[in-house]
Amino acid sequence: MGGVTAERRNYKLKVWKQNGPDDSGHFEEIDAKNISPNQSFLEMLDQVNQELIESGKEPITFDHDCREGICGTCSLVINGNPHGPQKQVTTCQLHMRSFASGETIVIEPFRANSFPVVKDLMVDRSAFDHIIQAGGYISIKTGNAVDANSIPVGKEYADMAFNTATCIGCGGCVAACANSSAMLFTSAKISHLGLLPQGQPEHQDRVLNMVNAMDEAGFGNCSNTGACELACPKGISLENIARMNREYAKASLKSRS
């Protein structure tokens, strides 16, 4: 199991290179040599980049931050799958032991018109921020911290809300969806607040506004393939999309404006 190993592997990377959103982009073949199976995928890219820099070439641009699977910054479509082949694992938590030595690894950015490529593998996911700005919050005066349990929340609802709150907003759902739909993300955010009492006062407006913001951002529609759920590194379920669907219909019907 794991531990220090002297084993080193070589890979052939087929990496997407693109100079900004308007460039058409192309694949470039880059060798990844002397890679430990215990290196993470991003550490492998770090090593490749170091060698590219040392040989005077331009490094591969990619997004990363916490490298602990909780910030939602890392992305990449690896051999066709967002966040690589393993379920419920982010790219930063993926290790090179998942790839056979000598394998060709195809690395692409999250592709969606609503996620324009900044450079190479880095995409601009601010469309998600716009969806959040449309209602992914609760308006309260914070004041002092309230006592725990001052608002009763059923255990089942607390658990469901927590599960949706684990969405890290990485956009893997959009990347996996054949339609580049953002419904899994939006529904997770709507569910997270909608399942809790604190989210109730603004629930109706939140559902309407967040869905409208999602539609306006140019994401595609849901065709219930479930690809998003399979790709989600946090295991957010399709049940949330169904909840959003019925809450949106209800809110549209009840809305007084």
Q: Which is nearer to another protein, 60 or 77 (CB)?
A: 77
Site residues for another protein per CB under 8 A: 14, 25, 27, 77, 79-82, 85-87, 106, 108, 111-114, 176, 178-181, 183, 211-212, 214-216, 218-227, 230-231, 238-239, 241-249, 252-253
Q: Which is nearer to another protein, 36 or 206 (CB)?
A: 206
Least distance from C-beta 71 to another protein, angstroms? Answer: 21
- Burial class for 46, CB neighbours closer than 10 Å (0-12, 13-18, 19+): middle
Report helix, strand or coil for 76: coil
**Both tokens assigned to 242:** 């169904």
Q: Which is nearer to another protein, 96 or 244 (CB)?
A: 244
Helix (H) or strand (E) holding 161: helix 155-165
DSSP state of 43: H
Q: Give per-residue burial for 69-89: e unless 16+ CB within 10 Å, then b.
A: bebbbbbbbbeebbbbeeeeb
Q: Which is nearer to another protein, 36 or 248 (CB)?
A: 248
Least distance from C-beta 222 to another protein, angstroms? Answer: 6
Least distance from C-beta 174 to another protein, angstroms? Answer: 9
Least distance from C-beta 209 to another protein, angstroms? Answer: 10
Least distance from C-beta 180 to another protein, angstroms? Answer: 4
Alpha carbon distance 236, 84 (integer Å): 17
